[in-house]
A = this chain, B = another copy of it.
Amino acid sequence: MILKSQVEWALHCCAILAGLPKGRYLSTKALAELHGLPKEYLSKALQSLSQASLVETTLGPSGGYRLAKPPSDINFLEIVEAVEGKARSFTCTNIRANNPCRPEGYCDSKPCAVARIMWEADEAWRDTLRRVRLSDLVGTLSEEVPADIWRSTFEWVLKRAG
């Protein structure tokens, strides 16, 4: 049960977008080069963010991506689900129904007890991600990343934003 690497990429890209000056766009190319990622494939992750309305786009030179909402209005779960999908990690195939001792038309009132427990764990995972906002990440990063690296990173990135 491993998350797509695009989840990691999307989170790091959102952190960068959150630190951009108001209104500025950043292209796939710039984000890919900053993180050392394959441009064409990273593009798919960014498209997922766009479809989830987490980012806005514009075309042409000086085009690219920017956040559609303030970083405090975006949580981790939104980003993760945008690229990973909203499906639960445990899928119940209802194998209890194969029990030969069950009467033919027997219909269960509740979902499987095993599935309920697995889905509860899934919800705990989602709750944790839902509670962390993108702005929290940006706060942590600006504390932990040395100020000069932090600053030069955005200079580097803005130079590529036209």
Contact = CB atoms under 8 A, between A and B. Distances in A.
A153 interface: yes
Q: How many copies does the complex hold?
A: 2
B113 A156 contact: no
A7 B122 CA distance: 14
Contacts of A33: 100
A4 B90 CA distance: 8
Contact of A11 (B101, B114, B124): B114
A36 interface: yes
B137 A100 contact: no
A85 B148 CA distance: 41
Contact of A91 (B2, B35, B117, B129): B2
